[in-house]
Amino acid sequence: MATRDALAEAALDTLPITVAVLDGNGNILLTNRAWDELDRDGKTDHVGVNYVATARMAEQDEYARRAADGLEAVLAGDRDSVSMEYPCQTPAQKQWFLMRASRFTVDGEDRVAVLHLEITDRKLAEIEADEAAQRLREEQQSLEHVLERVDGLVRDVTDAAVGATSRDEIERRVCQRLTATDPYVLAWVGRVDVTAQRISPREWAGRDDVPLETDELVLSSDETHPAVSALDAGESQVIQDVGTFEDADQWWPTGAGEWFQSVAAVPLEYGDVTYGVLVLFAEEAEVVDDRELLVLESLAGTVSTAMNAIEARRMLTTETVVELEVAIEDSSLFVGALATDLEASVTYRGLTYDRDGTALAFFYVDQRDGVADVAASLDGVTEATVLSEYGDGALLELALSDDVVTAIGDHGGVIQRLDAAPNNRVVDLALQLPNGQSTRSIYNVLEERYDRVELLSYHESDQPTQTPRDVLAKLDSELTDRQAMALRKAFYSEYFEWPRGTSGEELAESMGVSRSTFHQHLRAAQQKLLAELFAVDPTSEG
């Protein structure tokens, strides 16, 4: 018997769980090594200690009380076993254990085996899973609220933008709708004055007690204002708490936090065209999170699209154009570089496009020697061809990659002048543009690309009822690509002058076609052009 007891005790000492055996009164008869090592009081001999009484001494601890109640039920024979999980704060960390007490009989005597198994890793994983589930539930509730709010906001803003008949009405109705929705207390839309390089609120809505900026903002100078930063960077800007924003007092009265605590500025852009900036003020801090900003940017896209549609309709009925003239100084602009390298004047003649969409620009250079080689070596020029030589110079055809010429065309602009004088890298650029937004956008493109851009003039003027642009637009639907190219090349190369600046053979060679084919394209284009001018159907007989 002694040998068997010794074997049992030795086996218990090898177990990685704490084990104690109690008699029928709850006194400890036996413990294993793990139990002794876990004791925080430093005791190594627990035999004779009443385990249940010890647990009762800590009844203020809910877990100790539940353990004592369970053990007493097992000792009384009311239950065969009991188990519970409980935390234990050790000097190093908080741990979790599983206690299990089971009743058994030896030689007619009741005994209870008490086991404690550490389950910290599992418990922490369960707690983390529960917390994650709770966060998910809260996030889902928040998302449902946001979706409900956003759905109404998007629908109303879209209706306001699409239903408006003017840009002013779009701006006014959008500001009103946004400030009718929490948490926004003020909204304004600013437009850019291209000549003065300033921006100020154009339309706004909000609570009467919320102050509105009264000073104009200077672009490229007042960078700390979120509206200016948004336009300069081309992306949304957010101030989550004006109380921590160093320059808040510069833009808003002292104590602005009484009215609003966060600000968001979102550019209104359609493609490369910038219509202005939408600025929103929220009553609380930290409300414009990534999700909210995504909604605002989506709304800004809807507003910009509606503005573009209205501008497109206005362009079809308006009789005004914007005339813009700038001086550009930058060694990377091929026109100025060509004039400097050749020590010659470079004069713009016109523009067309190849069948693959490559821009073909025509320039007259008052020099002949090596002009094509010099031009072909410049950035932005992929190919240079001398179409003809006459007078003291040469007519160049330049195939252009992504450059100022193609950018202007993308913005609906028409180049009137793109010239450079000898030994002068300052290029004189004059344009006609369809509206102020296109003008602002192309001016931004020029400023971003080149070292120095100086605005020389900005003028809105009435255009004739039927402009060259109108005629060209109608012809574009009639002419084939090759017919249009033949007509443009002939005109720009002074084929119709006398004496001719270039021959039909030279133009045919530049297009990679035979002389007869070139003349067929040219005659067809001339017929369609004259038919348009004289309102004659080119397909009619007689």
Residue 230 maps to which CATH number?
A: 3.30.450.40
342 and 288 assigned to the same domain: no
Within-domain flag for 487: yes
CA angle 265, 268, 269 (to 5 degrees): 135
Helix (H, G, I), strand (E, B) or coil at 40: coil
456 and 312 assigned to the same domain: no
Within-domain flag for 123: no
Predicted TM-score (pTM) of this structure = 0.47
Q: Could you tell me the two tokens for 298? A: 């989506």
- What letters, b where the CB count within 10 A reaches 16 and e where it falls short, cover 391-411? eebbbbbbbbeebbbbbbebb
Helix (H, G, I), strand (E, B) or coil at 140: helix
Within-domain flag for 538: no
Return d(Cα 82, Cα 74) in angstroms, integer: 7
Tell me the pLDDT band of 540, cut-offs 50, 70 and 90: very low
The candidate with the shortest Cα–Cα distance to 239, out of 270, 282, 187, is 282
Return d(Cα 59, Cα 440) in angstroms, integer: 78
Of the three residues 256, 291, 317, the one that is the final residue of a domain is 317
Distances (CA, A) of 119 to 37, 86, 495: 17, 10, 94
The average pLDDT across 206-220 equals 72
- Report yes or no: 167 and 307 within 8 Å, Cβ to Cβ: yes
Using the Cα atoms of residue 386, residue 388, residue 393 and residue 395 in order, give the sign of their dihedral: negative
Side by side, the strands of the sheet bearing 28-31 are: 28-31, 18-22, 109-118, 94-106, 81-89
88 and 175 assigned to the same domain: no
pLDDT at site 123: 83
Within-domain flag for 79: yes
With a cut of 50, say whether residue 312 has pLDDT above it: yes
Look up the domain containing 365 and give its range.
Answer: 320-533
Q: Could you tell me the two tokens for 264? A: 């968001």
CATH assignment at residue 68: 3.30.450.20
pLDDT at site 210: 74
Helix (H, G, I), strand (E, B) or coil at 306: helix
Q: Name the DSSP class of 288.
A: -
With a cut of 70, say whether residue 370 has pLDDT above it: yes
| CA 457 and chain centroid, separation | 33
Long-range Cβ contact pairs of 126-131 (< 8 A, separation 24 or more): none
109 and 148 assigned to the same domain: no
311 and 399 assigned to the same domain: no
Tell me the pLDDT band of 167, cut-offs 50, 70 and 90: confident
Average pLDDT across the chain, whole number? 81
Q: Could you tell me the two tokens for 255? A: 């104590």
pLDDT tens digit sequence for 446-487: 888 888 888 888 887 765 545 555 666 666 667 788 888 888
The candidate with the shortest Cα–Cα distance to 110, out of 194, 191, 5, 22, is 22
Return the biggest CA–CA distance within the chain.
Answer: 134
Within-domain flag for 126: no
Helix (H, G, I), strand (E, B) or coil at 71: helix
Q: Could you tell me the two tokens for 232? A: 């300069």
Within-domain flag for 134: no
313 and 324 assigned to the same domain: no
pLDDT at site 194: 67
- Report yes or no: 519 and 487 within 8 Å, Cβ to Cβ: no
141 vs 31, residue with greater confidence: 31
Return d(Cα 162, Cα 164) in angstroms, integer: 6
The average pLDDT across 187-212 equals 79
Residues 6+ apart with CB under 8 A from 118: 17, 95, 96, 97
With a cut of 80, say whether residue 365 has pLDDT above it: yes
Return d(Cα 13, Cα 123) in angstroms, integer: 26
Q: List the beta strands (DSSP E) in 133-224.
A: 184-193, 198-206, 217-218
Q: State the first-to-last Cα distance of the chain, in angstroms, to the nearest integer.
A: 133
Q: How many domains does the chain have?
A: 3
Residues 6+ apart with CB under 8 A from 537: 531
Amino acid at site 377: S
Within-domain flag for 133: no
Return d(Cα 528, Cα 525) in angstroms, integer: 5
Residue with structure tokens 């001018």?
533
- Report yes or no: 214 and 204 within 8 Å, Cβ to Cβ: no
The average pLDDT across 53-58 equals 79
Q: Could you tell me the two tokens for 157? A: 């803003």
Range with lowest mean pLDDT among 68-72, 90-94, 190-194, 409-413: 90-94
Residues 6+ apart with CB under 8 A from 462: 319, 320
With a cut of 80, say whether residue 239 has pLDDT above it: yes
Within-domain flag for 541: no
pLDDT at site 538: 47
At residue 279, φ and ψ (nearest 5 deg) are: -120, 130
pLDDT tens digit sequence for 152-164: 677 777 777 777 7
